[in-house]
Structure 1
Amino acid sequence: MRPGHIGYVGPDLGVDRHAPAVAMLSVGLDAPLELHTGAHGVIRTRSSFAPARTPHRIVATAGWILALFVEPAGIPAIADEMNRTAGPFGLHHRRERELIRLCAAERPDPDRIYRLAITGEARPADPRIEAVANAIRAHPARTFRADRVAAGLGLSTTHFLRLFAEQYGTTFRGYQRWVRMSRTIRDAITGTDLTRSAIDAGFATPSHFSETFRDLIGLPATTMLRAGIRFDLGE
């Protein structure tokens, strides 16, 4: 887990259909994946990209996978690195082989994997939007209303929401959900009770957190936390 991205290398955890609030890159490390979509059916590919809020399901045909969730603020979209498309989905990352090689290391380096997945020159970031995103990350439990934030920036609500979606690749509300979910998991794996972590991060109830996690990740949070995963917080 890092500011701006969360990655997983390991066996398929049996996720259901889900729609992450940020972009997602998936790579089959030992064999092709099955990308289960709605309109485009099941696509067999070694790597796939799904934009934020795009419902899909990844199934490993064999072996391990890489799942990388990325906030695209200030960097080229992963979509630019895919060789083919199927509707909103990208297929066959240009550096597929190198990603597989890095993930095969005894202790994969999360930062090297991330840098390889995202290449190219950074896009200029709007400092107003970046400041809002920083505030959301610093205060996940706070409720940020789009109309009030927009007024504080001297923008219309519609214009602010469009700028935020363009820079962060997801909706203003969706980004707040993602930050709260990420903070909850981070606190839980550092020793805080999961229920306490969810409430501290701004969820109204533990069930609200559970529903959000399943919607964004595709499985119960308790399943992930009990899967024996070694977490690397970069600290």
Structure 2
Amino acid sequence: MSTIARSPIRDSVRMPTAWTRPGHIGYVGPDLRPDTHAPPVAMLTVGLDGPLIVHTSRGLIRTGSSFTPARTAHRVVATEGWILVLFIDPSSAPATMIADEMTDAAGTFGLRHRCERELVELCGEPVVDPERIYQRAIAGPHLPTDPRIARLTATIRDQPSDALRADQIAANLGLSTGHFLHLFTQHCGTTFRGYQRWNRMVSAITNAVNGHDLTRSAIDAGFATPSHFSESFRAMIGLPATKMLGAGIHFDLGPRIIAPR
């Protein structure tokens, strides 16, 4: 159980805020009570007004902050007030850069971030600064990634709607499909397919926030059907996209505004 005293986040932040940046996606606001979900990227969650209860397949964990590896089914509930949720793009910051900052563990879950107090304080500022939160969450310099994988992840982020096939990518790299998929997962901590789906979801939501029709945004992002998008979003985030978009959240898109096609 965390012994860190929480600050009154709800009194200092004007409204819930979500943001997208090239290396991370974050949210500071009330607990939206998602269902059990398994994002294809790693995530850090911090209770800003009280401890968290992490629901896992092996039971409940009570902690001030938790690190969840990519593709791990779980559900986090805030016991009180607001939370910080930070999704980490594995091509920008390997999951180990946050996992190494956790001071305890329960199975695959990291517990109690070393800078938990500072993260709570940063989220209590009148204006949330995504870059400062991100830099406080990660540890040390970015470790080098295989340049072939780095180029590929950049292509996926920039062109999320493109239907890239593992066998074609592998052939272009002179690798077997199995070796390529292993290499991608080794460097990114998530699957090739999962990383593509994640970036399509980010693209669809970004365009919807920019005022475009959600259904059209989902199709333009590369989802086969609106229902495919809805199912993918719920599996990754744990709630319907319409609920998140209708929650009165201020969306800070920063420099990464994806223009509709």
Deviations 1:138-186 (A, max 9, x none): 2211111111101101112122111211221110000001000000000
Q: How does 1:195-214 map to 2 (within 5 A)?
A: 195-214=215-234
Q: Match for 1:31: what amino acid?
A: G
Cross-structure match for 1:72: 90
Question: Shift of the alpha carbon at 1:75?
Answer: 3.2
Cross-structure match for 1:86: 106
Cross-structure match for 2:14: none
Q: Match for 2:63: what amino acid?
A: T
Cross-structure match for 1:27: 46
Which TM-score applies when normalising by structure 2? Answer: 0.88
Question: Shift of the alpha carbon at 1:134?
Answer: 1.3
- Contact residue 36 and residue 75 of structure 2 kept, 8 A: yes
Q: Match for 2:39: what amino acid?
A: P
- Structure 1: unaligned runs, 5 residues or longer: none
Cross-structure match for 1:177: 197
- Is the aligned partner of 1:101 residue 2:97? no
Cross-structure match for 2:187: 167
Cross-structure match for 2:4: none
Structure 1 runs of 4+ aligned residues shifted over 3 Å read: none
Deviations 1:80-115 (A, max 9, x none): 111111111100000000000000011110110001
Question: Shift of the alpha carbon at 1:11?
Answer: 0.3
- Report the more deviating stretch, 115-124 or 96-105: 115-124
Question: Shift of the alpha carbon at 1:74?
Answer: 4.9
Cross-structure match for 1:10: 29
- Secondary structure of 1:188's counterpart equals helix
- Is the aligned partner of 1:193 residue 2:178? no
Which TM-score applies when normalising by structure 1? Answer: 0.97
- Structure 2: unaligned runs, 5 residues or longer: 1-19, 256-261
Question: Shift of the alpha carbon at 1:233?
Answer: 0.8
Measure, in 1, the Cα distance between the counterparts of 2:139 and 2:251: 25
Deviations 1:30-83 (A, max 9, x none): 1000000002x0100000000000000000000100000001225352111111
- Contact residue 91 and residue 153 of structure 2 kept, 8 A: no
Q: Match for 1:72: what amino acid?
A: P
Question: Shift of the alpha carbon at 1:133?
Answer: 0.9
- Contact residue 67 and residue 99 of structure 2 kept, 8 A: yes
**Residue 216 of structure 1 is aligned with which of 230, 236, 239?**
236
- Contact residue 23 and residue 92 of structure 2 kept, 8 A: no
- Contact residue 29 and residue 82 of structure 2 kept, 8 A: yes
Q: Match for 1:68: what amino acid?
A: L
- Is the aligned partner of 1:140 residue 2:173? no
Q: Match for 1:38: what amino acid?
A: S
- Contact residue 100 and residue 139 of structure 2 kept, 8 A: no
- Secondary structure of 2:105's counterpart equals strand
- Contact residue 68 and residue 109 of structure 2 kept, 8 A: yes
Aligned residues: 234
